[in-house]
Amino acid sequence: MTTYNEFGRMEPIANIGDLVSARGHGMRIFEVVAFSHEFHVDAENTSEEIYYDLRCVTTSEYNLADQFDILVIEKAVGKPVEYMPKDKREEDDNRSENVDELLDELRDAMELVNLFGDHEDDAKEDRKLALKVCEIKAKLREAST
């Protein structure tokens, strides 16, 4: 149901963070991440439209929907706005912890190289420290993609 304010303009039925369903998308639930209110004026007509940017809460797929195509399921009043599903956030947190550990390990290895050179044993000239630095850098590249 579209409501109008005291100036005769449409009011948005959903707000950022609200959970909605969208016509044509079955039983999927979307979170409103943004909306736009557009006014069109020409010599003969004036019209307005409200569009919502939606993110599916299960697949994180983005969609665009007209105000007339959505139904508010749950208002986000008093809840923080979440922009990613929890499992995606946990994956990103685990990745950042892994990167932090690798950076600490790289810093330690680089410090050893600066103190003692590339070789762990000067008699053998085995270059173990330099190889360790290369391995850590490769792991960092892999973790950051």
Q: What average pLDDT is seen over the chain?
A: 78
- Summarised one tens digit per residue, pLDDT across range 31-90 is 999 999 888 888 888 888 999 999 999 888 999 999 999 999 988 876 544 544 555 555
Angle between the 128-144 and 86-116 helix axes, to the nearest 10 degrees? 160
Of the three residues 32, 51, 74, the one that is the final residue of a domain is 74
Same domain, 61 and 104: no
What's the structural domain count of the chain? Answer: 2
- What share of the chain in percent tops pLDDT 90? 22
| Domain annotation covers residue 80 | no
- Summarised one tens digit per residue, pLDDT across range 3-14 is 665 556 788 888
One-letter-per-residue 3-state SS of 69-111: HEEEEECCCCCCCCCCCHHHHHHHHHHHHHHHHHHHHHHHHHH
- The Cβ of residue 27 has, within 10 Å, a number of other Cβ atoms equal to 5
Q: Which domain holds residue 101?
A: 86-144
| Domain annotation covers residue 21 | yes
Same domain, 10 and 68: yes
Q: Which of 141, 115, 112 is nearest to 128 (CA)?
A: 112
Between the alpha carbon of residue 132 and those of residues 96, 97, 136, the distances in Å are 21, 20, 6
Same domain, 68 and 96: no
Same domain, 70 and 125: no
Same domain, 11 and 36: yes
The torsion of the CA quartet 85, 27, 33, 81, rounded to 10 degrees, works out to -50
Same domain, 69 and 90: no
DSSP-derived 3-state class of residue 4: strand
Same domain, 120 and 58: no
Domain harbouring 27, CATH code: 2.30.30.140
